[in-house]
Structure 1
Amino acid sequence: MSTDRWLHLDGTANTRDLGGLPTTDGGTTASGRVLRSDNLQDLSPADVHRLVAEIGLTEVVDLRTTAEILLEGRGPLRDVASVTHRHVGLLPERGLRTDVFAAEVDDDELRAQLPAGWGESVLPRQVGPGEEAEPPAVRSYLGYLTDSPDQVVGALRALATGGPGAAVVHCAAGKDRTGVVCALALAVAGVDSETIVADYALTAQVIDAIVARLAATDTYAEDMARPVEHHTPRADTMRRVLALVDQRWGGPLAWLEQHGFGADDQVALRARLR
C-alpha cells in the first residue's frame, strides 16, 4: 500500500490520511477529510499550525478513556478555538461516564473519580462467549463491537456530522480502537475488505516509534514492557475480525444498521469520506 498518506509530525508517530484509498465502484476516498492518529498531547507548535492552518482541522474525536485523558492531557489542540473536541471512549470505565471535556484537566474532584486500579482499564483484552480460541487482539476488537456499540456508533457519527474541515480520530497508539473505527468508516465509504486490512496493517511500519512514545509515559510504560511483537498489528487480525463481523452480523454495514447507524448516517459518512 502507498505510504504517501503519512503525516510526519514532530509529536506523533502514527498519523495518516484516510484519503486516496480505492473503492469498489472505481472511486477513491478523499484526502484532507479524516485523519487517523496516535495521541496528540505532544504536538509541537509547528504540528498545530500544519494541522489547523494547512490541513484545515476542525474536529478531534478522542477514543481514550477519561483516565487516559486526565493522566496524559488533551494536548495543544484543546487551546485552538476553531477545533471541536469530542470524547467517545471505547473502553469500559468501570461505570465512570464523565464528559471529561466539560471540566478542566486540573479539576481535583474529577481526578479523584479515577477508579482504583485504573491502569487495568487501559488496553484490556475482553473475552466474549465462544471467543476463547481467538487471538487476544481479535477478542479485544470484538469487545468494542459487543460491549461498546453506542460509543463506536458515536465516534462514526461524529466523523459523519463534523466539519466543515478535517477531522482526526485517535486513541493512544492509533492502531486498536482507532483501527476498528476506521475500518468501519472505510467500509461505509465503499473500500473493500483487503484494502481495509492493508490500511490497518500499515501501522506496523511505525510500531517501534509508537512503542517508544508510549513507553516513555507512566500511563502506558507497563504495557509497553512486553516485546514489540506483542504490539505489532497483523493483517490477519483485522481480516479475522471482518470475517467474524460478516458471520455474526452480515457485514460491517449490517452491524452499523443493527446498532442505530442507519441509512442517513451512512450517506453522511460516505459523503464525508468520498
Structure 2
Amino acid sequence: MPAWVDLEGAVNVRDLGGLPLEGGGVTASGVLIRADNLQDLTPSDVVTLVDELGVRVVVDLRSHIEVDTEGPGPLTGRVDVHHRSLYPEKGSFSDVMISRADGENPFVRYYLGYLRDRPDSFVGAMRDIASGPGPVVVHCAAGKDRTGMVVALTLAAVGVEREAIIADYALTGERITAIMDRLRSSDLYRPDLEGITDESRMPRAEYLERVLEVIDAEHGGAASWLAAHGFDPAPLYKRLVSAA
C-alpha cells in the first residue's frame, strides 16, 4: 500500500512505492509521489520534500489560469517545476466542477477527455518521471482526477496490477473531506463548489475501471497508447520498477 507523506500544507500526498506488478515484484519507493495542491506548503514541508525526501522535479498539472491566479508555489526556485496542463487552455480552468453529460459517467468523460485533449502533457509527464532525478511529485488541485489519470497511466504502462492501480486511485477517498475543505478555502475554487457535497467527489473504483477498459479496448492498453504518441515506456519501467 502506498505510504502517506504527512505535511502541514497538503493533505493528499503519498509515495507510490510498493505496488505489486503483474508477474511479480513491486514499484520502487522514492521515485513517484502524487499530491494535491502545493500552494500552502509550509517551510517545514519544503524541508521534508526537498531536503529529506530529495524531491527535485514537480509536474504541475494545473491549468495556466490556476497557476497565474494562485501562484507557482513555494517550491519554485528549489526544484524544477514542469507545467503540464491537461486542458486545451480554453474554457474550463479546473476540474473541481464536473458537468453532466449523456452516455458515460461525467467523471469518465472528463478523464477520457484529458487523453484526447492533451496527449502531449501525458507524454511530457512520463518523460519527467522517467528522467528524474530523485523523487518526482505529480500534482493538481485535489490530487484526484488529473493526478489520478497521469498516475494510473504511468502505473499501467509499467505493469502494475490493475487492482492495485484502482485501489490507489480510490485511496484518495480517505482524505476527501480535508481535500474539499482546502478547495473551499480558495477564492479560485470556492464558487464552483457551492452546493457540492464531499460524497459526490469521492473517487469511485468504477470510474477508473471504465477508463482503463476503454484504453484497453481502443488503444491496446496504456503502454500502446503512449507508444502511439511517441513515448517508449522502457525508461519509465527502468526508473519505477528496476530501481526497486
TM value normalised by structure 2: 0.93
Contact 1:157–1:269 (CA under 8 A) maintained in structure 2: yes
Q: Which residues in structure 2 correspond to 1:1-274 (within 5 Å)?
A: 2=1, 5-80=3-78, 83-94=79-90, 120-123=92-95, 125=98, 132-163=102-133, 165-225=134-194, 226-262=196-232, 266-274=233-241
Contact 1:11–1:42 (CA under 8 A) maintained in structure 2: yes
Per the alignment, residue 111 of structure 1 pairs with none
Separation in 1, partners of 2:160, 2:99? 28
State the Cα distance separating 1:179 from its structure 2 match: 0.4
Separation in 2, partners of 1:132, 1:86? 34
Contact 1:194–1:239 (CA under 8 A) maintained in structure 2: no
State the Cα distance separating 1:132 from its structure 2 match: 3.1
SS at match of 2:57: strand
Contact 2:15–2:32 (CA under 8 A) maintained in structure 1: yes
State the Cα distance separating 1:188 from its structure 2 match: 2.1
Separation in 1, partners of 2:191, 2:218? 34
Separation in 2, partners of 1:246, 1:79? 39
Structure 2 CA distance for partners of 1:125 and 1:216, relative to 1, 3 Å:
closer
TM value normalised by structure 1: 0.84
State the Cα distance separating 1:223 from its structure 2 match: 2.4
Contact 1:65–1:90 (CA under 8 A) maintained in structure 2: yes
State the Cα distance separating 1:255 from its structure 2 match: 1.0
State the Cα distance separating 1:29 from its structure 2 match: 0.5
CA RMSD of aligned residues (A): 1.6
Structure 2 CA distance for partners of 1:250 and 1:126, relative to 1, 3 Å:
farther
Paired residue type of 2:85: G
Separation in 2, partners of 1:228, 1:261? 36
State the Cα distance separating 1:25 from its structure 2 match: 2.1
Instruction: State the percentage of identical aligned residues.
Output: 50
State the Cα distance separating 1:125 from its structure 2 match: 4.9
Separation in 2, partners of 1:272, 1:33? 7
Separation in 2, partners of 1:132, 1:61? 32
Runs of 4+ in 1 over 2 A off after TM superposition: 124-127
SS at match of 2:166: helix
Contact 1:90–1:144 (CA under 8 A) maintained in structure 2: yes
Which residues of structure 2 form unaligned runs of 5+?
Answer: none
SS at match of 1:77: coil
Which residues of structure 1 form unaligned runs of 5+?
Answer: 95-117
Separation in 2, partners of 1:256, 1:237? 21
Contact 2:66–2:93 (CA under 8 A) maintained in structure 1: no
Separation in 2, partners of 1:24, 1:90? 28
Q: Which one has a bigger Cα radius of gyration? A: 1
SS at match of 1:173: coil
How many residues are treated as equivalent by the alignment?
Answer: 239
Contact 2:158–2:223 (CA under 8 A) maintained in structure 1: no
State the Cα distance separating 1:126 from its structure 2 match: 8.0
Separation in 2, partners of 1:147, 1:132? 19
